[in-house]
Chains A and B, each alone.
Chain A
Amino acid sequence: MRALDEEAVIPSEVEGSALTTVKRYADPYLTGVALGLVLLASFVIAGRGLGASGAFATAAATTVRGVAPEVASRNDFLATHLDAGGLFRDWLVVEIIGVVIGGSCSAALAGRLAVRVERGPHAAVPPRLWAAGAGGAIMGAGAVLARGCTSGQALTGGALLSVGAWLFIGAAFGAAYVVAYLTRGSWT
């Protein structure tokens, strides 16, 4: 597997605008196939695919239930994300914990752990963080409406050929290209 990690140099960020050489990332096709096998394993073992936003939804619902239980149970969206067994018995919540572990382990082994703010070569930190916050919140709204995100709808739903998932893929990628073009200064 080590040979497959020999790949491209990674883009610039951090202080100054010099290109920084970091440990190379793995080949995208091979990593994609590996990810597909993980997704397949999930289907086959657990009868369901991957996800991310659902874990956040369950966390949100659990929070609301803790503060105002009637609000949670009367709300269609929140009620459907409540688990009788509690937050840490939810499949997606445990899965996301795994994502955090797996991501940090991979980075640690590749020497890519670093506390920093990643941004485009000509972007400053404050605007980057504001955009990250605004973008995150907007994504939250989109994920609630669409019942998922790129992991749950695009990846999982895509592999399952779900109609709504493919609509999501088209809409999400389309909108992303438009906004990326409008904000192209931030990343290039």
Chain B
Amino acid sequence: MIAPLPLAVADGSSLSLAGALGIGIAFGWCLERAGLGSAPKLMGQFTLRDMTVLKVMFSAIVTAMLGLFWLSWLGVVDLARVAVPPTFIGPQLVGGAVFGAGMALAGLCPGTSCVAAATGRLDGLIVVVCFFAGVLGTGLAIPLMASFYESGSRGAVALPAALGVAQGTVTFVVVAGALAAFAVAGRIERAMAARVGRVRP
């Protein structure tokens, strides 16, 4: 009998890092293929002209979410061994807003800025360097806001547990929401294209 995945490979071992490299390469490949390494294209999402970010992101979320659900159901994956990031309500709301504002200014997010820099985009390189500086500076300042930083801690809680519904229910709602969003996205793109007078296939 195959042991339930994920594999119990030691953190920091060569095998685990080989996996990290391979996964990273595939990740970077997909981001560049979708055009997300290009700030104007990425920002098209936030000017409502190009819904690529929404399409890529939610297709990915739905795929991985459904994959995990069914692999777990089949007994192939042990969900208890997949690390869920912990929830800190205040910091993630505030941090999220700050992050989003920064992203709209920069035109790229950390991952896509690496792709942009890797493909020669100087703006991407600047984002990478300044993102590092921002992380460093804020990290050093954390002791000054320690109580806020640790506030709203709920642990590695997922929506089903928090809402008191079955995981399958939340999964279904996310899928339905994503499909509905895709339908609307198509309409928005066409409407904006007509308005702006530019043809965007």
Q: List chain A positions with a Cβ less than 8 A from chain B.
A: 5, 7-13, 25-26, 28-50, 52-53, 56-57, 59-61, 63-64, 71, 74-78, 81, 83-85, 89-92, 94-107, 110, 112-120, 128-129, 131-181, 183-184, 187-188
When distances are taken between beta carbons in the complex, the residues of chain B under 8 Å from A170 are: 96
Within the complex, the shortest CB–CB distance from A138 to chain B, in Å, comes to 3
A138's contact among B50, B116, B134, by CB below 8 Å, is which?
A: B134
- Mark contacts of B108-127 with chain A using CB atoms, 8 A cut-off: 1 yes-contact digit, 0 otherwise: 11110111111111111011
Other than the known A105-B25, A132-B127, what 6 A-B pairs have Cβ atoms closer than 8 Å?
A29-B56, A48-B83, A100-B28, A118-B121, A136-B129, A171-B96
Q: List chain B positions with a Cβ less than 8 A from chain A.
A: 5-7, 9, 11-12, 16-17, 19-35, 37-41, 43-44, 46-47, 49-52, 55-65, 67-68, 71, 76-77, 81-89, 91-111, 113-124, 126-140, 142-143, 146, 149-150, 154, 156-160, 162, 167, 170-171, 174, 182, 196, 200-201
Total number of residue pairs linking A and B with CB closer than 8 Å: 547
B23's contact among A56, A64, A81, A95, by CB below 8 Å, is which?
A: A95
A32 and B55 form a contact (CB under 8 A): yes
Within the complex, the shortest CB–CB distance from B162 to chain A, in Å, comes to 5
A44's contact among B37, B43, B71, by CB below 8 Å, is which?
A: B71
Q: 19 pairs across A/B with beta carbons < 8 Å? A: A11-B50, A25-B35, A25-B52, A30-B59, A43-B68, A64-B136, A64-B140, A91-B16, A98-B23, A112-B32, A135-B130, A136-B131, A141-B137, A147-B92, A157-B85, A160-B65, A163-B157, A181-B46, A187-B44
When distances are taken between beta carbons in the complex, the residues of chain A under 8 Å from B109 are: 52, 139, 149-151
Give bound CA distance, A104 to B91, whole Å.
Answer: 34
When distances are taken between beta carbons in the complex, the residues of chain B under 8 Å from A168 are: 92-93, 95-96, 99
When distances are taken between beta carbons in the complex, the residues of chain B under 8 Å from A44 are: 5-6, 71, 76-77
Residue of chain A at shortest CB distance from B11: A91
When distances are taken between beta carbons in the complex, the residues of chain B under 8 Å from A90 are: 12
A103 and B29 form a contact (CB under 8 A): yes
